[in-house]
Structure 1
Amino acid sequence: MKTKDHEITFSHEKVQEFVQLTGDRNPIYQSIDKAKEYGFKTIPLPPAMPNIAYQWIEIPWNLQDPVIHRKQKCVLHQRMFIEERYRAVIKVTDQYERHHHFFIQQTLYLYDGNGLLCFEGISDLVAGGYHERTHLSNN
Structure 2
Amino acid sequence: MKQIEGYVTVTKDMIQDYEELFGTQSSLSPAFPMIFYRELSVPWTFDASPVHRKQSCRCYEAITCGQTYRCVATLKPRMKKGAYAFYTQTLTGYTPNGKEGFQCVSELVVPLP
| TM-score when normalising by structure 2 | 0.86
Residue type matched to 1:2 in 2? K
Partner Cα separation in structure 2 for residue 69 and residue 104 of structure 1: 10
Please say if residues 18 and 49 of structure 1, whose CA atoms lie closer than 8 Å, have aligned partners that are also in contact: yes
Secondary structure, counterpart of 1:14 in structure 2? helix
- Percent identity reads 29
Match of residue 21 from structure 1: 21
Partner Cα separation in structure 1 for residue 18 and residue 75 of structure 2: 26
Partner Cα separation in structure 1 for residue 52 and residue 82 of structure 2: 17
Are 1:57 and 2:40 an aligned pair?
yes
Secondary structure, counterpart of 1:4 in structure 2? strand
Please say if residues 90 and 105 of structure 2, whose CA atoms lie closer than 8 Å, have aligned partners that are also in contact: yes
Indicate the structure whose relative CO is greater, using CA pairs within 8 Å and at least 6 residues apart: 2
Structure 2 residue ranges without an equivalent (≥5): none
- Compute the displacement of 1:24 (Å): 3.0
Q: Structure 1 residues 96, 8: closer, same or farther in 2, change over 3 A?
A: same
Q: Structure 1 residues 129, 59: closer, same or farther in 2, change over 3 A?
A: farther
Partner Cα separation in structure 2 for residue 128 and residue 97 of structure 1: 10
- Describe the superposition over 1:64-117 as per-residue Cα deviations: whole angstroms up to 9, x where unpaired: 214211111111122121111110111124521111310001101111001111
Match of residue 101 from structure 1: 84
* Aligned 1:27-42 pairs, distance under 5 A: none
- Compute the displacement of 1:129 (Å): 4.0
Query: Rg: which structure is higher?
Result: 1
- Compute the displacement of 1:16 (Å): 2.2
Residue type matched to 1:118 in 2? G
| TM-score when normalising by structure 1 | 0.72
What RMSD in Å do the two structures reach over aligned CA positions? 2.0
Partner Cα separation in structure 1 for residue 98 and residue 106 of structure 2: 22
Flag the structure with higher helix content: 1
- Describe the superposition over 1:113-133 as per-residue Cα deviations: whole angstroms up to 9, x where unpaired: 011111111111111249xxx
Please say if residues 96 and 104 of structure 1, whose CA atoms lie closer than 8 Å, have aligned partners that are also in contact: yes
